[in-house]
Amino acid sequence: MHRLAAGKASLDSSVIVDFYLVGRLVLLEEMFSGRLLMSDFVKQELVDARLQIAGVETISLSTVEEWEFFRKLQQGRPGLGPGELGALCVARFHDAALVTNDRQARLAAEESEISVHGGLGVLECAIEVGRLSGEQAVQILEEMISQGAWISYELAEKFKNKVLRSR
């Protein structure tokens, strides 16, 4: 079973925006019903962008340990913004998978032994749980790319081959 099918998910705004731009935000809401976590930093990014996602528990960093981890990440990866840093902290301290398309955040998660997935992982999980067909997932991926989601050609092709081959 896909890790995203059962556990909590700490969302970064990059994935939320990608699904929003193709009119599929409800897919995230339904796929992770009762399991969505978001740092208050990500929430502020969404407020600034006038976006809302339903069914999300907003979490503020509150312990010394969380803030120390935040600062350690911030120093080690100066390219990460508060949203990515907050999402990483929420994932680590709330036993959640990080869901982001940000390359630097993904690398930081891997280095910190945090389970990490991107938009493709969400689509793959949606197929596994019967929420989408492979063809529907590929269509959503192509729409995301046409709306500006940056997913490498190689990664997109690998995903398409994998999900369409398994029919």
109 lies in some domain: yes
154 lies in some domain: no
Coil, strand or helix: which one is 167? coil
- d(CA 125, CA 38) in angstroms, rounded, equals 20
72 lies in some domain: yes
User: What are residue 79's phi and psi, to 5 degrees?
Assistant: -80, -10
The answer to whether residues 11 and 94 touch, using CB atoms and an 8 Å cutoff, is no
pLDDT in tens, 33-86: 999 999 999 999 999 999 989 999 999 999 999 999 999 999 999 999 999 999
Give strand ranges (E) for 41-115: 56-59, 96-99
pLDDT in tens, 136-167: 999 999 999 999 888 888 999 999 999 887 55
44 lies in some domain: yes
Structural domain tally of the chain?
1
The answer to whether residues 53 and 28 touch, using CB atoms and an 8 Å cutoff, is yes
Q: Are strands 36-39 and 56-59 parallel, antiparallel or unpaired?
A: parallel
Parent domain of 43: 3-120
